[in-house]
Structure 1
């Protein structure tokens, strides 16, 4: 995470909400074959644990139970040109929002896997309203259970929370607004909106 304390994000409730809203990220762990990364959707199991699953064929899967891992969720981001600040002697930078969740991973018992998949699908289906929510009841008898045999469920208990909201807080308000406007014009409306929020 960025070392400048102006960008440090320590609000756990806000970070938890951020991960819930953008629940897809990268899971990093060390394995006998070297460092590995998997791209996974996650769901909060409670206030301090996230659940996820991997294909049994994923090279990380056999090494995760009992391992220390790092999950990273990235939010809006964008390149900031020095010309956009309206100030002299600036340098290019990149504004972004990210959360790192580090902790120990445990494999889930197979009988808990259906509930994990139900929770993952439900959290994402409700975002598609007014579309009716998909449930596994729509699948042919026995198919869901057979497909579960191809994946393994895990939970990560968060021990360390690290967040960064690098939104130009080290610049004067007029420079931040100018850069946010140019980011908006460049198509990076998500990061532009967050930059404006820090000035509200």
Structure 2
């Protein structure tokens, strides 16, 4: 994570919201075959753990159980042009939101894995537009069995939550407003809105 402590929120509710809204992350681990990474949907249990699953054929799946791994969730990001600063004797930068989660990983039984998949689909189906929401109840028992047989469910007990909320906190209110306007005009609506809502004037110079 970024070494500047000004970019740390330590806000657990915000961290949980990032997991919920982004919905997918990357899991990293060192293995006997070298470092490995995989993308996976994430589901926070709300009590300090995060669940995810991988295909049994994934190169990382066979190594994770019993290991300490790292999960990374990337939020909105955007290039910040130096043209948006009042003093152009500065340099461009990048604003972004990211979260690191570190902890030991255990394997999940088939029943727990299926429950995780049901919770994931229910949550995201509720956000999808058009048509009747899909439900896992529409699957036959045989289809469910094959689904669970083809994946491995995991749960990480998160020992460390580390976020970076880099939204021009170390710039003046005027520069921050101009940066947000520039990002908005460039189509980076999410990061512009977060600059306006997550950073208060008291956090700036």
Residues paired across the two proteins, number = 200
Q: Secondary structure at the match of 1:112?
A: helix
Q: Does residue 148 of the first structure (1) align with residue 148 of the second (2)?
A: yes
TM-score between the two structures when normalised by the length of structure 2: 0.93
Give, in whole Å, the separation in 2 of the partners of 1:192 and 1:123. 26
Is residue 177 of structure 2 the alignment partner of residue 177 of structure 1?
yes
85-94 or 121-130, larger mean C-alpha shift: 121-130
In structure 1, distance between residues paired with 2:122 and 2:189:
28
Q: Which runs of 5+ in 2 are unaligned?
A: none
Partner of 1:15: 15
Distance 1:43 1:102 in 2: 15
Secondary structure at the counterpart of residue 142 of structure 1: helix
Question: What SS does the corresponding residue of 1:117 show, helix, strand or coil?
Answer: helix
Gaps of 5+ in 1: none
Deviation at 1:65, TM superposition (A): 0.3
Matched, 1:109 2:112: no
> Which whole-Å deviations, capped at 9, do the CAs of 1:99-126 have from their partners, x for residues lacking one?
1111110001122221111011111111
The Cα shift of 1:141 comes to: 4.4
Name the Cα RMSD after superposition. Answer: 1.4
Structure-2 separation of matches of 1:147 and 1:18 = 27
Partners of 2:171 and 2:142 lie apart in 1 by 59
The offset of 1:92, in angstroms, is 0.9
Q: C-alpha displacement at 1:130, in angstroms?
A: 6.7
Deviation track 1:19-44 (CA, whole Å, cap 9, x = no partner) reads: 11111011111110111100000111
Give me the TM-score of the superposition, normalised by structure 1.
0.95
In the aligned structure 1, how far is the partner of 2:9 from the partner of 2:138? 42
Residue in structure 1 matched with residue 91 of structure 2 by the alignment: 91
Tell me how far 1:129 sits from its aligned partner: 5.5
